[in-house]
Amino acid sequence: MDAVSVVTHLRNLASDPLNRASIVRDRSCLAGLILFFSHEDPHVVEAALQTVHYLCDNSNHCEIMRHELGMMVSLENIRNSDTSNHIKLLAQRIYMLLSAPSHLHTPETKNTQNNLQFFISSANKRAKTITLHIHGLDDLERKSLCEEALLKVKGVISFTFQMPIRRCTVRVKPDLATECLTSAVAETRVLKAQQVMNEYGKEVYVPLACKENKEEKDKCLPDYLPEEESPQKDLEKALTLPGSKDESRGSWLNAAASFLSKTFYW
C-alpha cells in the first residue's frame, strides 16, 4: 500500500458515519493523517483534509482531534502555504470547526434540526448580521459551493444555513457591504442571493447589484476577522459514499493503521 491508496481508503471509510468513531479512536490513523498534511503530493493532502472534515461531524471527535499532537499546527501551516486555494479553504474550515468550543449552542441549534451551524456566535459585538435568501440552494453540493464562496469574502465572521427555506444568516464586520456577499454567491454561476429585510412586520427580498469589477469589489472587503468563540454542531449528515460491510470496513481500517504504524514513527 502507498500513501495515496491509504489516505483514499481512509477518506472512503470516514464518509460513512458508522466508521468515524473507530478512526478517531485509532491514534495511528490520526497521526498518519497529520503527517499526510505535509505530503508533497497535493492530492494526498486534500484527501487527508477531506477525511478529517468528515470526522468533524461530532463535537466529541473535534475535542479529541484538537488535542492530537501537531493537528492545529499542521492546519495552520496549510492555511499559510502556497498550495491551491481550495485546499487552503478546506484547511481553514477544519481549523475553525476544531477551534469551536463544543459546549456552546445557539438558538438555531435548539430550534432547527436541519440547520448547519458553521462557526457562528455572538462573541463579536461589533459585527452586523445579514440574512440572505439563496435561490438555488437545493442540495448539499450547492451548499458547499455557497460555503466556499462566502469563505473567500474578507470580513465574513460566520454563517449558518437554514436549508429548508434556503436561508443563510451571515455575521460580518460592520463596514462590509452586502453587495460583496451577493457578488460572491453569484460567482458560483448556479446560485443567486437576495437580502431578506423586515418591513412593517413582513419579510421582503431586496435585490442587490453584483459588483463585476474586481478592483471595485476588493475595495469593499475589510480584513478577515476571525471569531474567537464559536460553537459548531453540524446537524446535517455529511455527504456519504456507499457504505461498506462491517467486515471490509474493519479490514481496511486495520490495514490502514498497520501501514501507518510500519511507515511512520511517533
- The CATH number that applies at residue 46 is 1.25.40
**Within a domain: 94:** yes
Q: How far is Cα 89 from Cα 106, in angstroms, rounded to an integer?
A: 24
Q: How far is Cα 77 from Cα 70, in angstroms, rounded to an integer?
A: 10
Q: What is the band of 257 on the pLDDT scale with cuts at 50, 70, 90?
A: low
- Radius of gyration (C-alpha) of the chain in whole angstroms: 19
Q: Does the pLDDT of residue 235 top 90, yes or no?
A: no
pLDDT recorded at residue 265: 41
Q: Are both 151 and 67 inside the same structural domain? A: no
Q: Are both 67 and 123 inside the same structural domain? A: no
Q: Are both 114 and 221 inside the same structural domain? A: yes
pLDDT recorded at residue 74: 92
**Within a domain: 238:** no
Q: How far is Cα 37 from Cα 51, in angstroms, rounded to an integer?
A: 11
**Within a domain: 236:** no
Stronger pLDDT, 124 or 181, i.e. the higher one:
181
Q: What is the band of 47 on the pLDDT scale with cuts at 50, 70, 90?
A: very high
User: To the nearest whole number, what is the mean pLDDT of the chain?
Assistant: 75
pLDDT in tens, 195-216: 988 776 677 887 766 555 444 4
Q: Are both 21 and 62 inside the same structural domain? A: yes
Q: Are both 96 and 122 inside the same structural domain? A: no
pLDDT recorded at residue 26: 86
pLDDT recorded at residue 239: 40
Scan for cell 435548539, then name that residue.
110
Q: Are both 117 and 227 inside the same structural domain? A: yes
Most confident of 40-49, 125-134, 170-179, 227-236: 40-49
Amino acid at the residue 46: E
Q: What are the b/e assignments for 165-175, b being 16+ CB within 10 Å?
A: ebbbbbbbbee
> What are the residues whose beta carbons fall under 8 Å from the beta carbon of 88, sequence distance 6 or more?
78, 79, 81
Q: How far is Cα 157 from Cα 181, in angstroms, rounded to an integer?
A: 12
Q: Are both 118 and 80 inside the same structural domain? A: no
Amino acid at the residue 33: L
Q: How far is Cα 146 from Cα 192, in angstroms, rounded to an integer?
A: 10
pLDDT recorded at residue 258: 61
**Within a domain: 138:** yes
DSSP state of 163: G
C-alpha cell at 211: 459588483
pLDDT in tens, 68-117: 889 999 999 999 888 899 899 999 999 999 987 654 433 333 343 344 34
In this structure, the chain runs to a length of 266
pLDDT recorded at residue 78: 93
How many domains are there within the chain? 2
pLDDT recorded at residue 251: 56
Q: Are both 124 and 138 inside the same structural domain? A: yes
pLDDT in tens, 112-145: 334 434 444 444 456 788 999 999 998 888 888 9
Q: Are both 28 and 143 inside the same structural domain? A: no
pLDDT recorded at residue 127: 77
Q: Are both 222 and 259 inside the same structural domain? A: no
Stronger pLDDT, 64 or 245, i.e. the higher one:
64
Q: Does the pLDDT of residue 234 top 90, yes or no?
A: no
Q: Is the pTM of this model over 0.75?
A: no
**Within a domain: 192:** yes
pLDDT recorded at residue 94: 93
3-state SS class at 249? helix
Q: How far is Cα 39 from Cα 31, in angstroms, rounded to an integer?
A: 13
Stronger pLDDT, 154 or 210, i.e. the higher one:
154
Domain range for residue 77? 3-102+245-263
pLDDT recorded at residue 43: 92
pLDDT in tens, 37-46: 999 999 999 9
**Nearest-5° angle of CA 260, CA 45, CA 79?**
130
Q: What is the band of 34 on the pLDDT scale with cuts at 50, 70, 90?
A: very high
Residue 235: which of 98, 115, 59, 140 has the closest Cα?
115
Q: Are both 135 and 189 inside the same structural domain? A: yes
